Each structure stands twice: as C-alpha cells, then as structure tokens.
Amino acid sequence: MSDDPQQPMDSERQPHPVTDATSAVQKLEVQRIDNQEGRFFPRPPEPRPPKRRLALILFLLTCVSTIYAGYHMFKPKFWIDPATGQRFVLVEVDWATRRAYIINGLTYAVAVMTILGAHEMGHYLQARRYGVPASLPMFIPMPIGPFGTMGAVIVQERGAGDRKAMFDIAISGPLAGLAVALPLTWWGIHQSRIGEIIPNSDVWTNPMIVEWMVGWIKVPLKPGYDIALNPILFAGWVGIFITGLNLIPIGQLDGGHILYCLVGKRAHLIARAIYLGAIAFVVFKVLGGNEEYSAWTLMLILVGMMGTRHPPTADDHVPLGATRIVLGWLTLAFIVIGFVPTPMSQSAGPPKPAQPIQRPLEKPVQDVRVTVVADGIFPDPRPLNHAF
C-alpha cells in the first residue's frame, strides 16, 4: 500500500505501455540484436517432437501390418505328399481354417509388437529420466515385407544429454527388447519340433544364439534339419535379428550411439570403415552370384543418407564408469551371436541316400489343388488352370 493517497494501489495500477511491453518481451525470451536500428528479433522456435496422434496412427497401422504378415507367413501354400513327392496347392474353403490362420497372425503381431514396444520404451523412459526431449515411439508399418514392420524409432533433441545420459538411453532399448525376445524365443522352441528341410525351399537362417537355444532345449541341429517356426518363435527370431542389426556401430543406430559414448570421436573412423566395408562385401557377394545380398541395398542407402558420423553430446567428457564400459562392449558383442547377413536362404535339404536310376516320366506331374478343411487335407482333382 502506498502512503500517497494520490498514487493508485498496485491492484489498481493502470497499464504502462513501455513497462508492460518490456515485460512481455522478457517473458517471450526475445533476444535483442545490437544493430543500428536496435530492433528485437524472436528466437527461433525449438523443434517439437512428433504429435501423439501420429504415434498412435502409426502404432495401429503397424498392428494391422504385422497381423497381415503373420497371417500369410503361417498360411501353408503347398503340401507335398511324402510318399510320391507330388506337390499340391492348398486352397482354403472353410471358416475354421481361416480362423486358425488369423489366430496365428494375431499371436505373431502381439509378440513382435511387445518386443519392439519394450525396446522403444527402454529408450523413451531413460530419455524422460534424464530430461531429454523425446517423442513417443514411432512404429514403422511394412505390410509388403515378411516381418510386417521395419521397427520403430523415437525422435529426440540432439545435444540435449551428456555422454552418460546418451549411453543409458542408447543401451536401454536393446537390453529391454532382448529381455522380452529371448524368453519368447525359448518358449517358442519348447512348443516347436525339429524336422527335415524340404529340398530347394526358402528357410530362415538361425542366429548363433538361436542355434544354442535349440541345442539346449531340444537337440543340436544336424545338416538338413531345422526347427519348425511358430508365431511366437518367429517373433522372437525377428526381435533378435532386429536387435543385432540395430547394434551395428554406425551413425544413428543404437550401436553408433553406444560406440560414440565409449570411444568418442574415434567412432567416426570406425563407423565409416564398417560402412565402406559393408558396401564392398555386398557388391562382392552380388557379383559372385549371391543375389540374396542385394536385399541390403536399401539399408545401405538409408544409412548413407543418415550419415555415419555421430553428433556430439552436451558433454563428451562425463565419465561412464567401469560398469557401463564393460556393459557397452558386451552389448555390442551381441552382434556376433544375434545378427545374420543372410536372413533367408535356399536349402538343399537333408542328405539323401543314393537312389537307383529311374526312367523319367513321359509326362510331367501336374500340380493339383488341395482342399484344406478342419478335419484334414483332401486332393481336389481340378487342374490349376481351372477357374474357381
């Protein structure tokens, strides 16, 4: 309260144009630029992470694409008569069969989305812990691929965290994803069986850790034999493979973040050497007739567009401590047992004993359709060119 009766109280004070304008400028953090005109220029707006609505839409689309991928992955297309070797095309005709395929798709989608969600939430929660601005996980749907997704990412502000914060954010994702993927893989192997590989068929290459788990739970795999995939096992396989791929120490991959936090700017030379070596390796394999390696072309292009260099942290000199250093190198070493350069390959099947030479058939065996119903599989005498 003022002693001067003529002076208005604070609550009754009339707005002063100069004072209030200066206060507003301070509240808006307007930066003054000293020049001849003495004008005020606002600071550039801070980058905002993607909206939650976009994250939700991408999550739902990825759920649909993984269901679709799981449905077709475990939908048999051919049946081979073991007695004659004749191939039959499978045709669905009843709801019970389609329902089984849909359940397979849902099971795979729930399992693989749980693995990817755990991976990304490991990043996100650590970013929140350290106060680093980060978006919600942004899942990437991929309905035309066998996995149904290309994984997920979170968008975080560069240089907002120091060396220790960046290390914890980077390593928490792979460890959280593996904490879900490995138990699911173990359970899927328990529910599966080992069988002969059909000659000249496409098979998924098992990472070393999956081979070990099959040997522990079942028996060691012999040449020409493999573990039959089920939706849970395939989801675990995808989680292990994506984790191994993401740990490659290049640029903005999790492995690139971890390596930079471990060795600093020396990571730039290591990442560039790995990238150029990968290009040379893929070109050498493709020119040698291994066409399956050409699938890495898109990945190499994306990594090249993102760059192999890692941006500096807010403070590169913060010590990590012995525990983090050991954990970081052990996590990077997972690439050896979790990654395979050829996820899918063609197998010749188990070795067969020598058979007596037989005269070839006068006419080639024609494929016929097979009706798939809940009670079994029955040949359909209609030829393939017969219209439904």
Summarised one tens digit per residue, pLDDT across range 307-320 is 888 888 888 889 99
Q: Which residues of 248-272 are buried (b: 16+ CB within 10 A; e: fewer)?
A: bbbbbbbbbbbbbbbeeeebbebbe
pTM of the model: 0.74
Cβ-contact 114, 187 below 8 angstroms: no
One-character DSSP codes across 287-319? HTT-GGGGGGHHHHHHHHHH-S-----S-TTS-
Element (H, E) at 153: strand 148-153
In the prediction, which pLDDT does 339 show? 94
Amino acid residing at 113: M
Mean pLDDT score of the chain? 78
H runs (alpha helix) in the chain? 17-27, 52-73, 95-130, 163-190, 208-217, 231-246, 254-263, 266-287, 297-306, 322-332, 334-338
pLDDT at 15 over 60: no
In the prediction, which pLDDT does 145 show? 81
Segment 65-94 mean pLDDT = 71
In the prediction, which pLDDT does 380 show? 40
Higher pLDDT, 36 or 257: 257
In the prediction, which pLDDT does 351 show? 54
Separation between Cα atoms, residue 112 and residue 59, nearest integer Å? 12
One-character DSSP codes across 48-115? PPPPHHHHHHHHHHHHHHHHHHHHHHTS--EEE-TTT--EEEEEE-SHHHHHHHHHHHHHHHHHHHHH
In the prediction, which pLDDT does 346 show? 67
Cβ-contact 151, 246 below 8 angstroms: yes
Tell me which range, 30-44, 199-213, 340-354, is most confidently predicted by mean pLDDT: 199-213
